[in-house]
Amino acid sequence: MTFELDAHIAVRSQGGGEYAADLDTGWVVGGGVNGGYLLALIGNALRESFPSKPDPLAVSAYYLSAATPGPATVSVDVRREGGSVGTASAELRQGEETRIAALATYGDLDRLGDDVGTTAEEPDLPPPDECVANTFAPREILELAPMMGRFDMRFHPDHVGWAVGQPSGRGEIAAWFRLVDGREPDPVSLLMVVDALPPVTFDLGLMGWAPTLELTAHVRAKPAPGWLKVRHATRNLAGGMFEEDCEVWDSEGHLVAQSRQLALLPRPVDTPGVIL
Amino acid sequence: MTFELDAHIAVRSQGGGEYAADLDTGWVVGGGVNGGYLLALIGNALRESFPSKPDPLAVSAYYLSAATPGPATVSVDVRREGGSVGTASAELRQGEETRIAALATYGDLDRLGDDVGTTAEEPDLPPPDECVANTFAPREILELAPMMGRFDMRFHPDHVGWAVGQPSGRGEIAAWFRLVDGREPDPVSLLMVVDALPPVTFDLGLMGWAPTLELTAHVRAKPAPGWLKVRHATRNLAGGMFEEDCEVWDSEGHLVAQSRQLALLPRPVDTPGVIL
């Protein structure tokens, strides 16, 4: 059985660092294709480019234009490869348009030390059954964001006030997360997970799509199978932009990924219902 | 009068997006040239490449090899330029060796909205006169890190236990910061400021140089003249790496820059005194 994420991020080597891909329509959200999905697809091409270094350690993506479902090309240019890490630039293009320019460092998480020292704390989430499932989202949201159909998300009940017009104003959204078809998390899929939740600005009452300018993800450990806990938070809105910090914790309580993105504040919504 | 930072980050256009530069010996720290200084130099070349977009909004740098004082070249390739923001890739090279591969988005901070909503809190620092000045550092440190001579830093007294063998273990270092010759901060100099303090791992008792793999900085507002407050913190050490988050606040209490870097944990020190 091929899980749908693996089918959707599949790339076909064309030689010379070029990979052909098809952006699946199942990841549309708002006016484009989800940035986390695109990041995982680029991450998959990078993994093929570094046979002995299968894991993303750091990936930075600059989003230049909105992608659309259909054919795309990923170009990978390895800039330096050493014994333990390799670094490459990558671009995702559709026709003449560059969608994403990226840089990434890959390595082998199994070969890194197993020392861990963490003062970060896991999101405090009630059990999944006591959280609010994304399947309860209004039908108009699910139609605008087919991506939601890929996920089983269970939101902290205190973090979904925005769904009923009562955002908390704290700037925080945390949820349990897994893929609907049982595909377990791995380092490349975490690149998608860090951009899967609704924008944290929902919790500030700013409904609308928040275009990402830049997103950097660090994968810090291989995730254990099972539910992930994902937490989005923002601490600073200024100049029409906000940062969104994401943490992903695995079922064994390890912080497996961290990311930060700089995004544009949603514009005031003039089309009712267009809120992703 | 030309301030020394401006002289040291000066670039000379060679046409075709190539800029010649000289890496000044005054920014040596440990075995290489400080990464923040190099980022500001690249940032200066990028500023010249975007005449109507003078300010870095987001810059991501991947450090491929250690730079040495002397001639260097910055190549800038504008990937997309729109009405309000432009994005470019940039590389810093010395001879055949790429030192840094970077991506950056530039804009004009004066043209952005003046909305601010911040839940982040300023570092709580005693007045500069009640803090510990970097001039009190042991002579052997100052000799190993000529860079320290560029700065007037005043450390929170609770964050310098590492200097006397008593690190706090919290993973936090905060200090007042300004340049010794009175050069006021601006968006490009903030790219240097975010990597100017000693590694936060000092506060965990891990003395030694911590090579940066990747650093992303977001400049969120133009800094007001005067002292800056700079805070480094880490929340997660794993697999031989740690993230270092930096916040820079200006004299008017605005959060003007945020950065995160992924760095390698210092190796055990075998040369006494080699701790930067």
Residue A41: partners with Cβ closer than 8 Å, 6 or more residues away:
A8, A9, A11, A21, A23, A72, A74, A92
pTM here is 0.95
pLDDT of residue A126: 97
The position carrying tokens 């695109």 is A38
- pLDDT band of residue B39 (cuts 50, 70, 90) is very high
pLDDT of residue B116: 79
Contact criterion met (CB < 8 Å) for B80 and A65: yes
Q: Is some CB atom of chain B closer than 8 A to the CB atom of A101?
A: yes
pLDDT surpasses 80 at A268 = no
Residue A76: partners with Cβ closer than 8 Å, 6 or more residues away:
A17, A18, A19, A45, A46, A49, A88, A89, A90
Contact criterion met (CB < 8 Å) for B220 and A214: no
Q: What is the DSSP string of chain B?
A: ---HHHHHT-EEEEETTEEEEEE-GGGEETTEE-HHHHHHHHHHHHHHH-TT--EEEEEEEEE-S---SEEEEEEEEEEEE-SS-EEEEEEEEETTEEEEEEEEEEE-GGGS---EEE---------GGGSEEGGGS-HHHHHH-GGGGGEEEEE-GGG-GGGGT---SS-EEEEEEEETT-PPP-HHHHHHHTTTSPPGGGGGT--S---EEEEEEEE-SPPPSS-EEEEEE--EEETTEEEEEEEEE-TTS-EEEEEEEEEEPPPPP-STT---
The position carrying tokens 């911590």 is B210
- Cβ neighbours of B105 in A, within 8 Å: 62, 213-214
The position carrying tokens 């010759």 is B181
Using a pLDDT cut of 90, give the percent of chain A over it.
74
Tokens of B53: 């977009």
pLDDT of residue B113: 77
Report the alpha-carbon distance of residue B86 to residue B79 in Å, rounded: 8
Q: Which residue has the higher pLDDT, B269 or A10?
A: A10
CATH, domain range B4-109+123-264: 2.40.160.210
Q: What are phi and psi of A228, to 5 degrees?
A: -105, 155
CB B249 within 8 A of CB B123: yes
CB A90 within 8 A of CB A104: yes
pLDDT surpasses 80 at B248 = yes
pLDDT tens track for A99-150: 999 999 999 999 987 777 888 999 999 999 999 998 877 777 777 788 889 9
pLDDT tens track for A145-193: 888 899 999 999 998 888 888 999 999 999 999 999 999 999 999 999 9
In the A/B pair of chains, how many CB contacts fall below 8 A?
Answer: 165
Contact criterion met (CB < 8 Å) for A105 and B79: no
pLDDT tens track for B51-93: 999 999 999 999 999 999 999 999 999 999 998 999 999 999 9
pLDDT surpasses 50 at A275 = no
Q: How close does chain B come to A215, measured CA to CA in Å?
A: 9
- Cβ neighbours of B253 in A, within 8 Å: none
Other CB atoms within a 10 A radius of the CB of residue B41 amount to 30
Closest CA to B244 of B223, B214, B272: B214
Residue A19: partners with Cβ closer than 8 Å, 6 or more residues away:
A11, A12, A13, A45, A48, A73, A74, A75, A76
pLDDT surpasses 90 at B196 = yes
Q: Is some CB atom of chain B closer than 8 A to the CB atom of A178?
A: no
ipTM for the complex shown = 0.94
Q: Is some CB atom of chain B closer than 8 A to the CB atom of A39?
A: no
pLDDT surpasses 80 at B268 = no
Q: Which uninterrupted H or E stretch holds A47?
A: helix A35-49
Q: Which of A46, A62, A203 is most worth mutating to test chain B (most B CB atoms within 10 A of its CB)?
A: A62
Choose the closest CB to B58 out of A113, A213, A236.
Answer: A213
Choose the closest CB to B260 out of A117, A119, A260.
Answer: A260
- Cβ neighbours of A65 in B, within 8 Å: 80
Choose the closest CB to B216 out of A101, A204, A216.
Answer: A216
Report the alpha-carbon distance of residue A90 to residue A94 in Å, rounded: 14
Contact criterion met (CB < 8 Å) for A213 and B239: no
Least confident among A128-142, B26-40, B194-208: A128-142
- pLDDT band of residue A272 (cuts 50, 70, 90) is very low
pLDDT surpasses 80 at A221 = yes
Other CB atoms within a 10 A radius of the CB of residue A66 amount to 15
Q: Is some CB atom of chain A closer than 8 A to the CB atom of B241?
A: yes
Q: Where are the beta strands (DSSP E) in chain A?
A: 11-15, 18-23, 28-29, 32-33, 55-63, 70-81, 86-94, 97-107, 116-118, 132-133, 151-155, 172-179, 212-219, 228-233, 236-238, 241-249, 255-264
Q: Is some CB atom of chain B closer than 8 A to the CB atom of A271?
A: no
Average pLDDT over residues B167-187: 95
Q: Which fold has domain A4-109+122-264?
A: Porin (2.40.160)
pLDDT of residue A100: 98
Query: Could you say which DSSP state residue A202 is in?
Result: G
pLDDT surpasses 50 at B276 = no
Report the alpha-carbon distance of residue B272 to residue B123 in Å, rounded: 32
Average pLDDT over residues B172-185: 97
Q: What are phi and psi of B8, to 5 degrees?
A: -80, -25
CB B160 within 8 A of CB B126: no
Choose the closest CB to B238 out of A98, A116, A243.
Answer: A116
The pLDDT mean for chain A works out to: 92
Handedness of CA A48, A52, A57, A60 (dihedral sign): negative
Residue ranges per structural domain of chain B: 4-109+123-264
Average pLDDT over residues A242-249: 97
Query: Could you say which DSSP state residue A200 is in?
Result: G
- Cβ neighbours of A98 in B, within 8 Å: 79-80
Q: What is the DSSP string of B146-210?
A: GGGGGEEEEE-GGG-GGGGT---SS-EEEEEEEETT-PPP-HHHHHHHTTTSPPGGGGGT--S--
pLDDT of residue B270: 43
The position carrying tokens 């790429």 is B98
Contact criterion met (CB < 8 Å) for A115 and B221: no
Contact criterion met (CB < 8 Å) for A114 and B79: no
Q: How close does chain B come to A155, measured CA to CA in Å?
A: 22
Report the alpha-carbon distance of residue A151 to residue A146 in Å, rounded: 10
Report the alpha-carbon distance of residue B120 to residue B134 in Å, rounded: 27
Report the alpha-carbon distance of residue B30 to residue B189 in Å, rounded: 21
Report the alpha-carbon distance of residue A41 to residue A90 in Å, rounded: 11
Query: Could you say which DSSP state residue A151 is in?
Result: E
Report the alpha-carbon distance of residue B260 to residue B244 in Å, rounded: 5
